[in-house]
Chain A
Amino acid sequence: MRKLYLLVSTATMIVAGSCSQKSPGNLVFVKGGAFINTQSRYYGTSVTIPDFYIGRYEVTQKEWVAVMGSNPSAFKGDSLPVETVSWYDCIEYCNKRSIQEGLQPYYHADRDKKDPDNTNELDDIKWTVTTNKEANGYRLPTEAEWEYAAGGGQMSKGFTYSGSNNIDAVAWYWKNAGDTCLTGAWSWPVLVKNNNKTKPAGGRVPNELGLYDMAGNVREWCWDLQERTGTDDSQGRVWKGGGWIGADFCCEPSFRARLEANGKGPDQGFRVCRNGKSGA
């Protein structure tokens, strides 16, 4: 009975979340507006989000290989989310996929010009990346767009995690992403022994918009730059959503953290976005 409810509920959310406009591929149309999710850091602010499309799933390894030709992931599997990708890798993927599908590339990445605003000493790439905001191609979500979508947009029910107050219903994170369910406090050696890893995309319940894995599985790169908070801190690109290594609080939509743009990890992936107006 519970399974039937989940099935109906899932189907309802997917239909309600995506049928108002025709969405391309595995993208979901997100109707813009102000934040109604009371859990969001943007709730009660003047920030409004324009209409946009966002991936129903995290980019899978099959999708990555079809565009990039090779698979950098630590855990291999077509339906698993791609990981161990840097922010620069994702910029490159977005443009290549846009070209492959006859869309206008959203980014211009100048590989020969070091970004003068990039102060991260650990980042040895430092491409100067600019945007063509009118392009209809693939791009990374902004942090605000990501948080808006994770919170269910205009359909938000104010859940603690994207799609539920019960983290185990919606997220793969350190406690449940391995052979057995772990208890106690976070420990890397125990995660290794428990064979924690990524899971096939879409294996948990979606959120109000029909988006899967907005909490857990792999963390997702966003466009935004986050400045350092002190002289020995490092500037980096924002990631959201938490992953299979991290603690529960990382899976809350409002949690934000950063990693140097050339940083990679077996829990670092992304999902794509496109502008709403020029969209499909």
Chain B
Amino acid sequence: MKSNKLLSGVAGKAISGATLILFVASTFISTACKKHDTSAPADTGERQSGFVTDIAQPESQGTNNGYFWSLYREGGSASISFGSGGNFAISYSNVTDVVGGKGWNPGSARTIGYNVGALSGSYNFVGIYGWTTSPLIEYYVAEMGSVTGGTYINNISSDGHSYSFYKQQRVNAPSIIGTATFWQYKDTWGGSSTGSNRSVNMANHINNWRSRGGQGFGSYNYQILALEAWGNKSGYINATAW
């Protein structure tokens, strides 16, 4: 996802994150070598996508209280802990990149309830993240922070506010099915706040993606309420999804 250009305090350290992304991208290029001519360069500040259980925690499980969860950390330190139901907390310090959260596998067009009880320090994105296959689509719904980049398509109203829909094509890029050309769908609102129950009606987003995305919609893979922070950020989130 793109670095947050709207919240300068949040984006202040994005350059380091971009360095990581370029490193990851260059690692791929160095191994993949000869991409064909239509390959698009990795966007600066754009993570190559995907969430994972931190391999430093080999005992980690993929589910908790019936919810799917994941945590990926690069540099610094990060840990995830769980409360009841879909509650989770992530503490991170001086991370090059951290992405993590809790949700479902597979996802669906459900209405996702959430409450960010505490959020401190700095971050780039808090919202819904997921994948579909056939067609392969990586999607974001930014409730706090933003995800931009690509082409602006339209605005949709959902849950009492307006989201800007951007779509961006990735060509010959690594993905959950291997090397693929696929689209990222990015809906940004960014106006959420802590301490109150909120909802994300995924059906509204998916219906708009289905009608304006130009390729229908796919089969659900995982779908989580997630936080991402990159660029030596430190912070803490305690949130619940239902």
| A interface, CB within 8 angstroms of B | 72, 74-75, 84, 86, 122-124, 180, 182-194, 197, 219, 228-234, 236, 242-243, 245-247, 249-250, 256-257, 259-260, 262-268
In the complex, what residues of A have CB within 8 A of residue B50's CB?
185-190
Query: Chain A nearest CB: distance from B63 CB in Å?
Result: 11
Task: Check if B38 sits within 8 Å of A265, measured CB to CB.
Answer: no
Task: Check if B36 sits within 8 Å of A264, measured CB to CB.
Answer: yes
Given contacts A257-B136, A265-B178, contact A122 B216 (CB under 8 A): no
Task: Check if B53 sits within 8 Å of A192, measured CB to CB.
Answer: no
Can you list 23 A-B contacts with CB-CB less than 8 angstroms, sorted by A residue number?
Answer: A72-B34, A122-B171, A122-B181, A184-B52, A186-B50, A187-B50, A187-B51, A188-B24, A189-B72, A190-B50, A191-B174, A228-B215, A232-B213, A243-B178, A245-B178, A250-B177, A257-B136, A259-B179, A262-B37, A263-B179, A264-B35, A264-B36, A268-B178
Instruction: Tell me the B43-63 residues at the A interface (CB within 8 Å).
Output: 47-55, 58, 60, 62
Which label, helix, strand, loop or mixed, suits the secondary structure of the B interface?
A: loop
Query: Chain B nearest CB: distance from A121 CB in Å?
Result: 9
Chain B interface size, under 10 / 10 to 19 / 20 to 34 / 35 or more: 35 or more
Query: Chain B nearest CB: distance from A230 CB in Å?
Result: 4
Task: Check if A184 sits within 8 Å of B53, measured CB to CB.
Answer: yes
**Does B146 sit at the interface, judged by CB under 8 A?**
no
Name the contact of B36 in the complex, choosing from A184, A250, A263 (C-beta under 8 A): A263
Instruction: Tell me the B159-194 residues at the A interface (CB within 8 Å).
Output: 167, 171-172, 174-181, 183
In the complex, what residues of B have CB within 8 A of residue A228's CB?
215
Count chain B CB atoms within 10 A of each CB in A86, A191, A232 and give the residue with the most: A232
Query: Chain A nearest CB: distance from B75 CB in Å?
Result: 11
In the complex, what residues of B have CB within 8 A of residue A190's CB?
50, 52, 55, 72
In the complex, what residues of B have CB within 8 A of residue A260's CB?
38, 181
Given contacts A74-B32, A268-B178, contact A182 B55 (CB under 8 A): yes
Task: Check if A84 sits within 8 Å of B33, measured CB to CB.
Answer: yes
